[in-house]
Amino acid sequence: MRWIVYENNELVAGTSLRDEGFSTDAFACGNVAAYVGDDEASVIRNRKDLAEAVGIPLDHWVYPQITHSDILVEVKRQDQGEGTLSASLKFQGVDALYTKERDLVLSVFHADCTPILIHCPKTKIVAAIHAGWPGTIKEIVSKCMDTLIEKEKVEVSTLRVYIGPCLCQEHLEIDRPVLDKMKTMTFDVSPFLRYRDLDHAYFDMVGCNVHQLVSRGVPMENIEIHPECTYEDPLRFYSYRKEKVTGRHVSFIAMKK
């Protein structure tokens, strides 16, 4: 399995790619999600292969059940391996994880949605967030930041953030019902919309999530944004908006031993 790497001396993080693996047909080749209709044995082989490539055993990973929630949960040592060989019972409906443990890999599935990986080198915390347009509208990033600041006392100015490949604004058209949901947000979202007509607009999901980070004090220069759009490269990326029946990537982060 191949993956995009975000790494330094203390951290290993990245996003899996679809171009190698054991899945076939619509899920070819590197699908790591068991809930999309793929052969379960192929999914497990892909997960094990990715874990081997990363260099951390699969039983040190955690896979939550993504549902576009705004829920953040702390992962502890006793949780390692949760969701890796069967559906997670503990992390159902959880779209964001954080941990203080080393050698424990946090993971989020996605195909077009925004994966956000956070590292606080001073307080020794990592987090993984899944922010599709529903989670972005629920301000999951702002809520996660508030928890990390208030509960864990992270120093925001030291955070390093990696935003993985996702759907770009050009391919993320939303309609009136979604635009109406945005009226519940706590900030003006209009800078992140480009209207096609009165009832349709193109949404800058990445920009909206970056705003949530910066508004909590994360320096813009500490945010690394992957430049590729999942819709535009079907050889390397899955795109639910383009294909509907398709696989999922996993974006992951861990502090090294």
Taking alpha carbons only, the member of 63, 40, 2 closest to residue 252 is: 63
pTM of the model: 0.97
Neighbours of 89 (CB within 10 A): 9
Domain that holds residue 163: 7-255
How far lies 85's CA from each of 23, 48, 62, 96, 142, in Å?
16, 10, 10, 20, 31
Q: Specify if 152 maps to a domain.
A: yes
Beta strands in 79-159, from DSSP E residues, in sequence order: 96-99, 105-110, 114-120, 125-131
Tokens representing residue 223 in the block: 């945010």
Q: Specify if 1 maps to a domain.
A: no
Q: Specify if 36 maps to a domain.
A: yes
How far lies 253's CA from each of 98, 102, 117, 170, 181, in Å?
10, 10, 7, 28, 31
CB of 11 closer than 8 Å to CB of 255: yes
Q: Specify if 249 maps to a domain.
A: yes
Q: Specify if 229 maps to a domain.
A: yes
The helix or strand, by DSSP H or E, that contains position 65, with its residue range, turns out to be none
Domain count across the chain? 1
Q: What is the CATH number of the domain that holds 203?
A: 3.60.140.10
Q: Specify if 235 maps to a domain.
A: yes
pLDDT digit string (tens) for the chain, length 257 residues: 788 888 788 999 999 999 999 999 999 999 999 999 999 999 999 999 999 999 999 999 999 999 999 999 999 999 999 999 999 989 999 999 999 999 999 999 999 999 999 999 999 999 999 999 999 999 999 999 999 999 999 999 999 999 999 999 999 999 999 999 999 999 999 999 999 999 999 999 999 999 999 999 999 999 999 999 999 999 999 999 999 999 999 999 999 98
Q: Specify if 126 maps to a domain.
A: yes
CB of 65 closer than 8 Å to CB of 88: yes
Residue 4 has what pLDDT?
82
Q: Specify if 157 maps to a domain.
A: yes
Residue 71 has what pLDDT?
97
Half-sphere exposure of 142 (CA within 13 A, CB side): 13
Residue 1 has what pLDDT?
78
